[in-house]
Structure 1
Amino acid sequence: MTTSPYPIGTPGEPWGDREKAAWRQRQQVVRSYAGDVATAIDRLRDRFDVEQYGTLDYRADGRYPLFAVRSRDWDEALPVMLVTGGVHGYETSGVQGALQFLQQRAADYTGRANLLVVPCVSPWGYERVQRWNADAIDPNRSFRVDSPAQESAALVALLAPLRDRVLMHIDLHETTDSDESEFRPALAARDGKPFEPGGIPDGFYLVDDSVEPQPAFQQAVIDAVAQVTHIAPADDNGEIIGSPVVAPGVIRYPLASLGLCAGITDARYTTTTEVYPDSPTATPAQCNAAQVAAVCAAIGFALSHAG
């Protein structure tokens, strides 16, 4: 846990351009989007339609093509199931879980649903194991028209024609120990606010939509994931990350008004997964499998309640 001042900025003062530039200079490439993600997507082209829906242009840091993977035999009569991962680039199982779903389970829904999967919304963040984009903006607070985040604006544009056609949207995330040691202190420093230490839930949980909650849908996903990894318990206040637990492993946010990815469409069934990769009892393979289990359960529930 960080208790000393964040190394960038002046406590109590929001960052300006100089501080954001200093923060950006600290971010180093530690893995390859082209090698880890784009290559894996290329291998899917014989079974799916792969679309480049945009390009991130971060000047000296490079240009990043953005890819969406669609069912090859798209049928306008079938419901649309949307899967997104890597909105926060450091949340590895969101990216790898989406790819693993495409590789291993997507064929199960041929002729039953149209699948649209965006495995890595934030390639710059993926390479740097970073929550924000290169402009120190959190994409997952920026999914709205005229978004200040390139990543969010590109996804909003991709999904605009399908906004009222999507039946289910599951957005794949992680909550990590680095949320408390790095990302929350950085957020407080950027916004000129004091850092308030919190806790990291030990286990998997979901974020439902507080405006239009779907408790049975969330429960179906929790039940499936519980076969793969443990579900996060409530803390002593009956909360997870400061929000009341409304059912085992489930909290609620107003998804659309907060600019969260899961609120980007008018889907009836929406959820955000939160895997805990730092648990001593969870391996990377288990985290990826939990994401796949969540996706399959979400699609299965939506299909069985599509009428």
Structure 2
Amino acid sequence: MHKHLLAMAAAVQARAYHIGAPGSKWGPAELSQWRAEHIKSRPYDDDVVKVLDSLRDEYDVIEYGTLTYDGVSHKLYAARSKDWNNRPKVLVTGGVHGYETSGVHGALRLLQTKCKDYAERGLDILVAPCVSPWGYEHIQRWNYDAVDPNRSFKRNDPDACGSQEARALVNLVRNHGSDGWACHIDLHETTDTDESEFQPAKAARDGDVYEEGTIPDGFYLCGDEKNPRLEFQRAVIKGVSDVTHIAPADPDGTIIGSKVVADGVILYDYTALGLCGGVTDAPLTTTTEVYPDSAKATAEECNKAQVESVLSALDFLLAERSWGPAVKALGGGMP
């Protein structure tokens, strides 16, 4: 028994994060150390804002808030189809986790390519390509306060949102009407650093013991367990499979510990977890997960997979005739 306890203690020590004491939540000193270790590594203004500025002739580019951390401010922008006119509404979000690069660049690529075509086919489309600029610049999952924006959304109460990023996006959505949202695609990645950095850091921050997980090799979706719409999820998976490979289930039938309910599809409770995917009442919602660290994928392929996931979702929406009461109440407007 003594040897067993020593082995357990050694395993915990080996997996302990370098900030904080095992079993103790972070305080101000630990947060300050974490902040000091992360420097700006890429420019939000050049990579995101300048691209949006170049698209102003094609879209209404909206400033929907400002994030300010330690005296440094980032303005938040979204692009909206110019013919916005009370038709079925689509929300596309990227960069809720700023370090997930293809979520940001996939959303921008969508705007640069086929997004306008779908707006002309009868949809009002709103794209927020980089919800977390500080996270983007510092290549971090969390924001400056070591808060995960994608666990802090409260759709019906912006003031209760646990991050500036979530609060600003909730207000943006509300300003475009609480009804009539037909579809929301939230663009994410699962990376090797989820297990090498962010999960150990989360355990340390919360005073927990890190338990090693697995990283799926390939693309997968996370639907809303309260509204799974598996036919919709399957349509997105089918479209993306032409661009990149779909993640297989682990031997126990799970992906990242959640039961696989269809090829490449797992479910989370969006609202209970405070996920961005629950920011609207849209009947069609999904969260993409691209794997950029795969030996079988490139950065370009990941960006294309994000774009294809949106296009497949919109194709399904345009072909579907049962979007739910919120969309049916709009009456016409669809081709």
- TM-score under structure 1 length normalisation: 0.97
The alpha carbon displacement at 1:59 in A equals 2.3
8 Å contact from structure 2 (residues 225, 267) kept in 1 = yes
Which position in structure 2 is the counterpart of 1:219?
234
8 Å contact from structure 2 (residues 19, 204) kept in 1 = yes
Is 1:19–2:34 an aligned residue pair?
A: no
The alpha carbon displacement at 1:213 in A equals 1.1
The alpha carbon displacement at 1:163 in A equals 2.7
8 Å contact from structure 2 (residues 16, 209) kept in 1 = no
The whole-number CA distance in structure 2 between the counterparts of 1:40 and 1:254 is 34
The 5 Å alignment of 1:198-277 reads: 198-277=213-292
Which position in structure 1 is the counterpart of 2:332?
none
Q: Which amino acid aligns with 2:148?
A: D
Check 1:220–1:198 CA distance in 2 against 1; reply closer, same or farther (3 A cut).
same
Is 1:96–2:111 an aligned residue pair?
A: no
8 Å contact from structure 2 (residues 66, 75) kept in 1 = yes
Let me know the Cα RMSD of the aligned residues. Answer: 1.1
8 Å contact from structure 2 (residues 219, 245) kept in 1 = yes
Which position in structure 1 is the counterpart of 2:179?
164
Unmatched 5+ stretches in structure 2: 1-12, 323-335
Which position in structure 2 is the counterpart of 1:137?
147
Which position in structure 2 is the counterpart of 1:174?
189
Residue of structure 2 aligned with 1:113, choices 102, 123, 127 = 123
Residue of structure 2 aligned with 1:290, choices 293, 297, 305 = 305
Q: Please give the secondary structure, in 2, of the residue aligned with 1:257.
A: helix
The whole-number CA distance in structure 1 between the counterparts of 2:187 and 2:166 is 15
Q: Which amino acid aligns with 1:276?
A: Y
Residue of structure 2 aligned with 1:54, choices 53, 65, 82 = 65
Runs of 4+ in 1 over 3 A off after TM superposition: none
The alpha carbon displacement at 1:4 in A equals 3.7
Q: Which stretch of the first structure deviates more once superposed, 21-30 or 288-297? A: 21-30
- TM-score under structure 2 length normalisation: 0.89
> How many residues are treated as equivalent by the alignment?
304
Q: Which amino acid aligns with 2:183?
A: M
Unmatched 5+ stretches in structure 1: none
The whole-number CA distance in structure 1 between the counterparts of 2:38 and 2:104 is 20
Deviation per residue, 1:240-299 (Å, 9 max, x gap): 000000011000001111100001110000000000000011010000000000000111
Which position in structure 1 is the counterpart of 2:165?
151
Which position in structure 2 is the counterpart of 1:83?
92
Percent same amino acid among aligned pairs?
Answer: 56
The alpha carbon displacement at 1:111 in A equals 4.2
